[in-house]
Amino acid sequence: MASPETLIEIDGSYGEGGGVLLRTALTMSALTQLPVHVTAIREATKFPGLNPEDLTVVRALAVCCEAEVHHAEPGSSSLLFVPRRRARNLNSRVDIAEGADGPGFANALVVGHALLPVLARTGTFSALQLRGETYAHHNLSVDYYEHVTLRAMRRFGLYTTLRVEEAAFGWGAVGTLEFEVEPSALNGVDWSKRGRLVACRAQIVTSHLIRTIAERAEEHLREIARSAHVPFDIETTEVRARGPGAFVTLSAEFEHGLGGATAMGQKGVRMESVVQRAYQGFAEWFESTATCDPHLVDQLLIAAVLADGPSAFTTNRITPRLLTTAWVIKRFVPIHITVRGREGEAGSVTVHPPQ
């Protein structure tokens, strides 16, 4: 059992009060070897307590660190995680933890992203097979993760490759990803200003749908791009999946910044509307001067903390998730994370290692 002097106590209902708080605490515990006790888990959400996605992350990190774990059961409102050794690499299949009533569901990218900074610091190559959702409403999706998140991580010096074996659309669907992480030494980035535009990318992905649906989506996006003068390089792909699905991912890469937006097709919703929704989210960031979209900036915080040297970003909207992630990180390390701006408005983030 951890001693009271070293145990980090985290109130899981703080700020955003959801899964990102728990995952950040677990990742930081694995990185620092400091034990953590999280209470009131997901208390600020409609579904409090540990869910199968959380348990999948817990079990994978526990293997990495040979951690002692208490109260890791579905629905548990608290969790004690005590690392017993420096994290080591993983070369395995990471299965979704089952819930109390049967098989569980998880977003494969969410699980992989929680493991990523830990595996990058082991000094050894890791290769994982991750199972779960790959295209999601309001959650990480594979094309955004590959073309935005992982491209941004490479700017820090963190190298990861991702391959889709089988796609899965929506909560409850199960696909398979191959996730490879190289040992990485990270450096800070100065993304206070965008610099020149490098590329604009668009992925239109469908499965088990008639071909004209993807063609209509591409045609509508080309019309939008011509009108808005955005030079999208459009890729249309039919992916292997067990069920039908459609997804649109738009992204842009600048000399010093990345961002994007997504939209998932729904039964009864025209693909032109899906494209329009993705573009509206993309334009909110792209037409600003921010270097990171609101979803990317909190994904980069742990990498910035691990980096040698300071980092700086700007975003077009400060989110509760960003503020919560920064709060949790500072519970573990004496790092200077400064967020300037009000929640819901544009702002900046700087990360400075302690002197």
What confidence score (pLDDT) does residue 103 get? 55
pLDDT digits (tens, 9 = 90+) for 70-98: 999 999 999 999 999 999 999 999 988 76
d(CA 318, CA 340): 9
pLDDT digits (tens, 9 = 90+) for 119-161: 999 999 999 999 999 999 889 999 999 999 999 999 999 999 9
What confidence score (pLDDT) does residue 100 get? 52
C-beta of residue 201 within 8 angstroms of C-beta of residue 231: no
**Maximum CA extent, the chain:** 63
Average pLDDT, the chain: 95
Domain 197-286 has CATH 3.30.360.20: yes
Name the architecture of domain 8-189+293-352: Alpha-beta prism (3.65)
d(CA 33, CA 28): 8
31, containing H or E segment: helix 19-32
What confidence score (pLDDT) does residue 95 get? 84
Token pair for residue 333? 């390390």
What confidence score (pLDDT) does residue 1 get? 46
Would you place residue 99 in the very low, low, confident or very high pLDDT band (cuts 50, 70, 90)? low
| Domain boundaries along the sequence of the chain | 8-189+293-352, 197-286
Mean predicted confidence (pLDDT) in 207-219: 97
Residue 55's identity, in one-letter code, is L
What confidence score (pLDDT) does residue 257 get? 98
Sign of the C-alpha dihedral computed for residues 98, 100, 103 and 107 taken in this order: negative
Token pair for residue 255? 């000399």
> How many alpha carbons lie under 13 Å from residue 113 in its C-beta half-sphere?
31
pLDDT digits (tens, 9 = 90+) for 103-119: 568 999 999 999 999 99
pLDDT digits (tens, 9 = 90+) for 19-43: 999 999 999 999 999 999 999 999 9
Crossing angle of the two packed helices 52-65 and 19-32, in degrees rounded to 10: 0
Does the pLDDT of residue 233 top 90, yes or no?
yes
pTM of the model: 0.95
